[in-house]
Structure 1
Amino acid sequence: MTSFFGKLKSQNATGPAVGTTPAKKDPNAPLPTPLERMLMNAGPIRNDGSDKFFGMENFGNTCYCNSILQCLYYSVPFRDHVLSYPKRSTPESVAHAQAHAPPRIPPLQQNGTAKKPLGPSSARSAGTPPQQQKPEDKDSPEYKKKQALLAGPILNMSYENSREYEMPETLFTSLKDLFEAVVVNQSRMGVISPSRFLETLRRENEMFRSAMHQDAHEFLNLLLNTVVENIEDHDRKVIAQRKAEQPLRGVEDDGDLSKTESESGTVSFPPILPTPTTSSPTRWLHELFEGTLTSETRCLTCENVSQRDEPFLDLSVDLEQHSSVTACLRRFSEEEMLCERNKFHCDNCGGLQEAEKRMKIKRLPKILALHLKRFKYTEDLQRLQKLFHKVVYPYHLRLFNTTDDAEDPDRLYELYAVVVHIGGGPYHGHYVAVIKTQDRGWLLFDDEMVEPVDKTFVRNFFGDRPGLACAYVLFYQETTFEAVQKEQRMEGKRRASQDLTSGLAVPPRQSAELHQVQTVTPMGSPGSPSDATYYATLDHAVTAPPEFTTNGHVESPRSPPPPTVRPPSPVLQSKRERVKEEKAHEKARRAAEKQAEKDRQEVEKQRRKVLAAKLTEAQKRQEAELKAALEASKASKAEEDKRHALERSQTVHANGSGSGSSGFDRFKRTKSLRFGSLNKKEKPQLDSSEENVASPDAMTPEKEKDKDKDKEKEKDRRNRFSIRKKSFGMLP
């Protein structure tokens, strides 16, 4: 945050006036601040307070109050009306109140403890030399704020002077005392300590009693509404007092204020406010800040259009990424469909109907406050979140979303103040104000610090710059086309004078060279130019003066410039060239992005083609392998069928008469073949009938001997087993 502002101010700070010679000063004296350099050649102090530039002391998260008060002070009609009601205080009464004011108490830290002096802070460091502290950055805002408090003067606003103009102490009287103290003071610059104003604000409003981060837009609405209420209450008391003093005169009470209810959805005033009459003391405040919105609702069933007027103190507009204030105002007046649960009750139809609703401006205020909704509630996070959207705001604005019967619908506004919020969220951060003054141009008000800045400095808060600084509240005041043209001519003259002064400031050595070059060598002498060249130079010298080049030589111009046309300023030329270069770079960047996107699409297309070819080839290979496997399976099945047929034919021939054998004989043969592959141990024991049927050679003498031997072995084995069981007592 600090580096962001330090960088911006170093680029845009206004230097000393051109052509002035600084006076000799003590080398040990501190250097003058940019504001002091700007006010060196200032004239006498005015009585209206427009040439006073005072910072405001921060009492711990009170920057929201300081920035809004600065914007209201430099609104000339608002300041004049505050000073004039009910009457102006005399300088003597203000000086008397300041002399008898309580002593100023320095602001405390946020935790409520006073600031500790520099040096060792613990007993561990006692007896040891203090460590050398790093030198402070003299360009940082913190250092400049400390210097502003040290330089002073500090206006101790711990008093109230409301008895002087016969009013009870309210927030309005504290604001009036603050403005009067600045106007009456003989110094052009200093620091205000608004302790009494903050004490009154916290006493009357509980939400501002804590040290939490507050919203500048909410404070603006509260302050304007409270000022209206305080003035109206005082005016009622004055009227009642006059009626009591003169009961028989029947004086007409033109200041009697009737109360009317106002229904509003986006209105900034409270639901019930006194409607100002022609002679109302708050009429000026309504004319300055209050406008009128018209809500037009058209029933889609009967096409009936109903209207309702709603007052507003400021317009709160929703934001979108990469947009402008004009686009936000256009979306503010877009048609909204009322359907489903939000149906409109039409008096003509007598029931809930679907309708279209839009908001238009019926009456424009003289000071238009635009609130950019930087803080939006997100359901995913269940809290407010700051929007860092880029929103461009112009120096001059003309509203187009007005009604047909609007008063002065083509009113032109100029930007005169911007309240900037610096921070990552709505619950913490810092507020500063960038304000355009009458005679001194744009100034940056950062609590105690006041510095002049360039006009282009205001464009640093669109939301697209690195950092956390974004415009939050924009103040536009009415102006005329003639005033805008006059200001542009003044800027052009000032720029031309600066260019002329910088162009005529030639070093002595360069001026000596110019004089040497301008001497004409006599004709006929060595090194003299020819007749044609000489007379050509004379002809050009008659019509136009010589022009200086960058190296200090004189060149005769090729064609004389017209005397009525002034050459363009180098500053304008450089800006135009810069704009052209930026446009060319942007165009080249877009072309490169398009080409890169095209190349990427082409590469993706080729990759997809190769992948599709690979997939097709793999599918074909798989189908071929499957086909080959099927062919092999068919071949193996045919071979197996042939082998089985051959085996069956051999079996039939072995039995003798294959055709005369019964089905039971074939089954027995198949069973013997099935167990033919078994060894002797696993071969099942067949009875004699089965053995006779199984093989024709079963009754041979050799086989009978083998069979008798096997039977004897089996009998011996059974006898041994029975003897073993008997020895164990298992058999009887």
Structure 2
Amino acid sequence: MGVAGSKLEKALGDHFPEGERYFGFENFGNTCYCNSVLQALYFCVPFREQLLEYYLKNKKQGEVDENILSCLAELFSQITSQKKKTGVIAPKRLVQRVWKENEVFRGCMHQDAHEFLNFLLNQLVDALEKESHKVTSGIQTSVEGVLNGPSNGQINGGVKKEPLVTWVHKIFQGILTNETKCLRCETVTARDETFFDLSLDIEQNSSITSCLKNFSSTETLNANDKFFCDKCCSLQEAQKRMKIKKPPRILVIHLKRFKFMEQLNRHKKLSYRVVFPLELKLSNSMEDADSEYSLFAVVVHVGSGPNHGHYVSIVKSHNHWLFFDDESVETIEESAIQTFFGSAQEYSSNTDHGYILFYERITAADSKS
């Protein structure tokens, strides 16, 4: 990487950001799915800052249990503390921990980057919740011991505690509202659900905006799909739609490029051209004002099918774009991003397609949240 590293430094020259580090990741046998997601998360600034803060706090406290959270925090700290500006790092400890925790990712099989992202974020949440529970339990035990003597097992008078909101939730979690309107009595039933990413169906020659509109479009429930209305106490025709009630700080969009084809009895990759803009506005899909987002990372799937291929990532850092391909890191022009939109024809030599998109919220409302 010495030559490649010096090449990158030369390309950036005086524009190399102060204090920033650009390091490729070693591949341990088809771990590109992991490397591409890690690069996107590293350049998610609020996520990186929280992870580094977590690492420093735990370092002061001494030994902590090794888990995916501690391994990821250590990896990010390792990158930021490098004396060199560029180079290669082996995320071996983290990868081995992933293999230990989840057999799906073991071995040298090609894995799905979106599945890995979901697994990773949920593992971080689980670790933070366990740590919070330990702290809370310790405080309660000592307080009850002082005030009440031996504990009778009652916590907070038997009141159920609210789910913990971790910094992972604050960064990635949004809220969807599933609305169903009975067409007989016009009663609207609303049910909220949280999400870390939005998985969108795609069509040929479309855009993220149109995909989001389709996601929030109204669907009629009739015939065998009628809705049981509690007010009418019977099955009724209804209209259903999904809205984004609360947009997240970091909006992660997963394009459903792998579709199961019954006639083929296997999954097929959709190479559809889907335009993803550098600036995205969420409108007509939420209750409050429009929210604006800025693209900062894309995980790209390279290849013609779901069970083989390669993952790379492109990220925005300090107003310039970088291309990460495992150990290799190089600059790319902003105009080159459109080459990852997909193919206008079904069969094309271009197999590099945007798969997971990372947008950061840039509206004033973000500063209030």
Q: CA–CA distance in 2 between the matches of 1:45 and 1:257? A: 50
Q: CA–CA distance in 2 between the matches of 1:318 and 1:285? A: 26
| Structure 2 counterpart of 1:178 | 75
| Structure 2 counterpart of 1:420 | 300
More RCO (CA 8 Å, sep 6+): 2
Structure 1 residues 189-222: Cα deviation after superposition (integer angstroms, max 9, x where no partner): 1111111111111111111113211110111111
1:257: how far off?
10
Q: CA–CA distance in 1 between the matches of 2:339 and 2:70? A: 36
| Structure 1 counterpart of 2:102 | 205
Q: CA–CA distance in 2 between the matches of 1:433 and 1:257? A: 46
1:89: how far off?
6.4
| Structure 1 counterpart of 2:283 | 400
Unaligned runs of 5+ in 2: 149-154, 365-369
| Structure 1 counterpart of 2:128 | 231
Q: CA–CA distance in 1 between the matches of 2:177 and 2:264? A: 35
Task: Point out 4+ residue stretches in structure 1 off by more than 6 angstroms.
Answer: 29-32
Counting only pairs closer than 5 Å after superposition, residues 130-149 of structure 1 correspond to structure 2 as none
Report if the CA contact (8 A) 2:175-2:192 is conserved. Answer: yes
CA 1:457–1:165 in structure 2 vs 1: closer, same or farther (change >3 Å)? farther
| Structure 2 counterpart of 1:35 | 8
1:185: how far off?
1.7
Structure 1 residues 623-668: Cα deviation after superposition (integer angstroms, max 9, x where no partner): xxxxxxxxxxxxxxxxxxxxxxxxxxxxxxxxxxxxxxxxxxxxxx
CA 1:418–1:86 in structure 2 vs 1: closer, same or farther (change >3 Å)? closer
| Structure 2 counterpart of 1:432 | 312
Q: Does 37-46 or 302-311 show the bigger shift?
A: 37-46
Residue type matched to 1:248 in 2?
A: V
CA 1:218–1:382 in structure 2 vs 1: closer, same or farther (change >3 Å)? same
| Structure 1 counterpart of 2:331 | 452
SS in 1 for 2:303: strand
Residue type matched to 2:115 in 1?
A: E
1:39: how far off?
4.6
Q: CA–CA distance in 1 between the matches of 2:107 and 2:3? A: 38
Unaligned runs of 5+ in 1: 1-28, 91-162, 260-273, 482-732
* 1:334 pairs with 2:307: no
| Structure 2 counterpart of 1:75 | 44
Q: CA–CA distance in 1 between the matches of 2:310 and 2:170? A: 31
Residue type matched to 1:213 in 2?
A: H
Counting only pairs closer than 5 Å after superposition, residues 92-171 of structure 1 correspond to structure 2 as 165-171=62-68
* 1:385 pairs with 2:265: no
Residue type matched to 1:210 in 2?
A: G
1:175: how far off?
0.3
SS in 2 for 1:352: strand
SS in 1 for 2:14: coil
| Structure 2 counterpart of 1:643 | none
Report if the CA contact (8 A) 1:70-1:433 is conserved. Answer: yes
User: If each structure's strand is expressed as a fraction of its own residues, which one has the higher value?
Assistant: 2
User: If each structure's helix is expressed as a fraction of its own residues, which one has the higher value?
Assistant: 1
Report if the CA contact (8 A) 2:55-2:70 is conserved. Answer: no
Q: CA–CA distance in 2 between the matches of 1:257 and 1:400? A: 39
Q: CA–CA distance in 2 between the matches of 1:289 and 1:226? A: 14
1:422: how far off?
0.4
1:480: how far off?
4.3
| Structure 1 counterpart of 2:151 | none
1:44: how far off?
8.6
Report if the CA contact (8 A) 1:45-1:188 is conserved. Answer: no
Q: CA–CA distance in 2 between the matches of 1:360 and 1:43? A: 41
1:164: how far off?
5.9
Structure 1 residues 41-99: Cα deviation after superposition (integer angstroms, max 9, x where no partner): 367953xxxx1000000001100000100111111110111111264466xxxxxxxxx
Structure 1 residues 520-570: Cα deviation after superposition (integer angstroms, max 9, x where no partner): xxxxxxxxxxxxxxxxxxxxxxxxxxxxxxxxxxxxxxxxxxxxxxxxxxx
1:232: how far off?
0.7
Report if the CA contact (8 A) 1:295-1:357 is conserved. Answer: yes
Q: CA–CA distance in 1 between the matches of 2:4 and 2:190? A: 62
Aligned-pair identity in percent equals: 46
Q: Of residues 290, 305, 316 in structure 1, which corresponds to 2:173?
A: 290
TM-score normalized by structure 1?
0.46
* 1:60 pairs with 2:33: no
Residue type matched to 1:178 in 2?
A: L
SS in 2 for 1:58: coil
SS in 2 for 1:306: strand
Report if the CA contact (8 A) 1:291-1:364 is conserved. Answer: yes
Between the two proteins, the alignment pairs up a number of residues equal to 351
Structure 1 residues 442-499: Cα deviation after superposition (integer angstroms, max 9, x where no partner): 0000000000111111111111274211100111101149xxxxxxxxxxxxxxxxxx
1:402: how far off?
2.8
Q: CA–CA distance in 2 between the matches of 1:87 and 1:359? A: 40
Counting only pairs closer than 5 Å after superposition, residues 648-687 of structure 1 correspond to structure 2 as none
| Structure 2 counterpart of 1:512 | none
| Structure 2 counterpart of 1:316 | 199
Q: CA–CA distance in 2 between the matches of 1:352 and 1:342? A: 9
